[in-house]
Amino acid sequence: MIFKPGVFGLLLLEVTAGGCYLLTFMSRFERVNRTFYRLHGGLFLVFAGLAFFFMGPSAFTELSSLGFSSAGQSAITFLGIGTLALLVYNAMVFFGPWERQKVLSRPVLLSASLILFLSLGSGTLALIPNWNLTFHGVLLLSVTLSAAFLLGSVLLAMNLGHFYLTNPTLPIEPLLFLTRILVAIMVAVTILILPEALFNAHASTDFVKALKLESFQGLYVWGRLILGILGGLVISFMALKTVRMHSTQSATGLLYIELIFILFGQAFANFLYLRMGILL
C-alpha cells in the first residue's frame, strides 16, 4: 500500500496533535471557562475526522493481510484511535459537572494528543523510507513535529483572544502564556528551517530552480519563506508586544493574520514535501 496523506490531511493532523497537547496546559488558568474547552474539543474532533478522511481510511482494509509493518498503516491506525479518544473527551467536556470533568478530561486529552503525535511521527517516517538516526534525519522529524506545535499554538491563541471581546475582565495571563509559546515555537521553527534550506540548496536542483523562480514551485517556496517564516516571525513578536500592553483586541487581529500566514506557509511546505520531497 502506498501512503498518500495529502496536503490537507497532513495539515489537519498537525494542527490537531499540537492543539490538543497545548490545550492540556490551559487547565492551570481557572478563569478559562468550559466554553473554551468545548469549542476546541469539537474543532479538534472535526479536524481529526477530516484528517482521517484525507489520509486514506481504505488502509484499514489491508490491515488484516499486511499487519502493522507499514508505518503508513500505523499512522492511520493511531489517527483512528486518537479520534475515538477525542470523542470520549468531548463527551466529558459537554456533559457532567464541570469541576469533576475538568480534572478527569485532562488525562484523556493528553492521551489523545500523544496518540495523534504517534500518528504524525509514523506518517513522517512513512514518507521518508530511508530515514535513519542522523543529524539530518532528526532534523526532518523535528521540523514536522514543531509545525504541529506552531499550528496548535496560533489557533488556540487566536480563539482565546476572541473571548476577551465578550469578557474584558478575563486575566491576561492565559493569552500571554499562549503568545509566548507561539513566539518560542516560531523562533525554533525558523532556526530548524535554516539548516534544512542550506541542505536543500546543495542537494536539490529543483529547490535551486524554485529559489530562482525558474519553476512554478518557486511560488510555493517563496510563499513558505515570506508568509510562513518571515511574516509569521514578525507578527508573532508584534502580537506578544500588544498582549503585554493588554491591548487584546489588537492582539486578536494580529493573531488572526498570524494564523492565516502560518496556515498558508505550512500548506505550501506540505505541498513541497509531498510533491517534490523538499522539506522547508
What local confidence, expressed as pLDDT, does residue 129 receive? 61
Q: What is the pLDDT of residue 165?
A: 84
pLDDT at site 68: 43
State the pLDDT at residue 128. Answer: 67
- pLDDT lower than 70: segments of the chain: 1-6, 56-71, 128-134, 136-137, 203, 276-277
- pLDDT at residue 273, rounded to an integer: 76
Q: Residue ranges per domain, the chain? A: 1-127, 133-280
- Give residue 7's pLDDT: 72
**124-137 pLDDT, tens digit each:** 777 766 666 667 66
Which residue, 54, 126, 43, 114, is CA-closest to 78?
Answer: 114
Q: Per-residue pLDDT tens for 86-104? A: 999 999 999 989 889 888 9
Whole-model pTM?
0.86
**CA–CA gap between residue 46 and residue 261 (Å, rounded):** 22
The set of residues, in sequence order, having a beta carbon less than 8 Å from that of 265 and lying 6+ positions away, is 223, 224, 227, 228, 229, 231, 232
